[in-house]
Structure 1
Amino acid sequence: MEKDQCTVAGLGLEEKLGFGPRAYQHIVSNADLFVPAGGSRSAIASNGSEFLGVWTQGLSQFAVRLDAMGRLLDASGIPLRIASSYYGETPLLTGAGGNFILVLAQSVSLLDRDARVLRRVGMGTPGVPLMALSDGRSVLVACSSVSSIFVRLLATDATPITDWTTIGSTFDLSVEREAAFGVDSNGYVAFLATKNGLTMQRISSRGEISPATVLPVDIGGLQRLKTAFDGERHIVVWSTSANPKAVLVTPDGAVSDAFVIPTGSLPSVVLGVDARSGRSFVFFSENRGGLLYELSAVSIDDASRQVGVPFVVAHNVADDLSIANVNDALLLSWPYAGMNGEVLDRPTAVPLGDAFPIARRAAEQNAPSIASGANVDLVVWSEVDTLNTMRVRARRINRAGIPLDPTPIELGTGDPNTIAPTVAYGGGEFLIAWGATQK
């Protein structure tokens, strides 16, 4: 019996949720229920010596550890017991002070290298989290509300340093596609695609924000903006309706001429950039027809702006690429039927083996709640179908830990963006409550 299935027994709650002694476990559902693997959104980060991956499954967050070469250290996901505010929320993750900072819409959590939650504080955000980035001394968190960008500085232990401050507005409502953030020796940098053009704005490690500077760059047709710092200059890349374009920007704001990154004849979307020691990699996705996507990359010598030949990295990567590195190991991760990864040797740009599953996909079954009655326990959970409808189901379990119902009991439907089901017992009856699709 696999430990990563939701299980129950006639013992304490830890055993009922499948984290207790293996000898006492019993399967609640014939389908994988509350499996800590394979969410719809994911992120990867490095603390300088190892990697941590985090993904969302329904309203729950799970983590997995990888060593400095990107090898999995955990056979199954580690439940973080940190609830999302809505289904399929994208987690933000960054290394900070040897630990990790996890940012969600309503909370910021400090995780150690073993994915233990050391601290959790309320987010108090004015909008949707966009980015979390660390300069080693602090953490910058950026959020959006409509087209406005807000930033806040945290200490590496997740303690707030500053309050939320507005730094500007992007061209339209697609904020996550028109804002990019980097860090250099002078602090943090924000690049925004605004009505006035591409702007550059500095944010110090003490929270001081400089006025925005409009860069002499034509960003007509910009569809998505990404950036990275190679040690001397920022490379700023954006997608267009044709091939992507890029400019190089020094920390003091000197800008190179824009240059084209030839990616081929197919439409391409820039998903990420990694830069170090004067060399950059630009990762982009190409639609090969229908639902077939390929993740490819090009190497750029930043000093000469010479672009290498594109090469294929992995298949089935349409979006949500996350990049982290430890020394010369560059780890990429993306969601597709789970959370997947690929490790590149950065000096040679050669993949170190095939793409591999970091976490296998599970059914969108989440948030189990358990209540004990006179002679029976009731387990209630939610499932999200392909139409994004939350179906609430239950199963009775006797004191020996044996399911009394051959198949789960269908209780009703609800809104996946509202309250997950919960169950309580009293007066000889079980009471189940969940968020409804109507008020």
Structure 2
Amino acid sequence: MSPTQTQRAIRGRFLDIQSIVVQASDIAEQVRYLEDGLLITQHGKIIWFGPWAEGQQQLNNNVQIEHYPEQLIVPGLIDTHIHFPQTEMVGAYGEQLLEWLNTYTFPTEMQFKDKHYADKIAQFFVNELLKNGTTTALVFCTVHSESVDALFEAAEQHQMRLIAGKVMMDRHAPEELTDTPESAYHDSKALIEKWHGKGRNLYAITPRFAPTSTPEQLERAGQLKAEYPDVYLHTHLSENKNEIAWVKDLFPEQKGYLDVYHHYGLTGERSVFAHCVHLEDAEWDCMHDTDSAIAFCPTSNLFLGSGLFPLNKTWEKQVKVGLGTDIGAGTSFCQLQTINEAYKVQQLQGNKLSAFESLYHATLGAAKALHLDDKLGNFNIGKEADFVVLNLKATALQQLRQQRAKNIEDALFALFTMGDDRSIQATYIFGEKAYEQKN
């Protein structure tokens, strides 16, 4: 019997959001908190969840129970936008988006033509995700097919659900990082056939952003999306004002930045656009009407000086949104730190971001943004068993602060404000412990 066929039992304090909501004010009604709960998994999925007192009789006689009485167990954290080849260039100094790409990003990404090098960084990247409690991510690779193979191979070792794809880029980049409309189409098609739906791997068609693809290449990307409707589309949108002006110069016949993607058939229910800091009203309406999603990347937007994302607008316009770390413009793999900065971004706009709304955006809301809320995002029976054990008292300061916590919401907010990778006690992937912090 393989490990995932064995029944697993986890006992402890559990917190999740039970169902999708349409307004932030509705989230509190969907919060499910069990002071002493039991989660039973088998075949990598949740087969029972509820209070310990009710669940004991559900257990097989020989099941070993893993008990976390002091910790807090939440669904696996989901990262809706991250670049694995940029892992080694986090904290590159002094530039805004376009200069940052040319000065730091492109030279770093050139190395990923070497499969051995890509393998090394992919292993580090996946381990770093697990160490930070991230169980699913939507990931940029490089223009090289080798980078995609390396990442999916590393994820497969843990049966980890990753969505990733080869960058499509045929202009405004170094020659070593460019492809052509034809090669991008054929290479992406081959990678879709090789990886999409294999185990828990999913593929994303990945034009870097409109300025680095010719109209011919964007047309080929749209052709791929039409040919493989269950494949994802992952790109950048309206991150920086200079970038937006550049797009208008390059595509004068289109009504705006998002209209470029929409024109080539790249919007839709599995289309995820990173940043969207400066959308116009018509673009918000298009996002809603096409059921496209946004990845909100606060640490990156602050680091590159891109602007403040209007999170409240996603509720007003009913647009799906998840949190993204955006390594390496983003400054931390940790979604706890991402939430910390998201709170501050909202404060600067006169808005409050509650702990429960933050949890929603990092779990069930992100799963909805990735069209995976039937599989991920909470502890509902039948979902895949990805979850994280959080230590709320990982440091002396956190321990002192938690003594003052009035309730679970206050305790969670303090964790989101002060937590980092030290707060991740254990990460479970498909019912199996994939990471445990060494004491």
TM-score tier, shorter chain, comes to under 0.3
Larger relative contact order (Cα-Cα within 8 Å, sequence gap ≥ 6): 2
More helix by share: 2
More strand by share: 1
With structure 2 as the length reference, what TM-score do the two structures score? Answer: 0.27
Structure (1 or 2) with the larger CA radius of gyration: 1
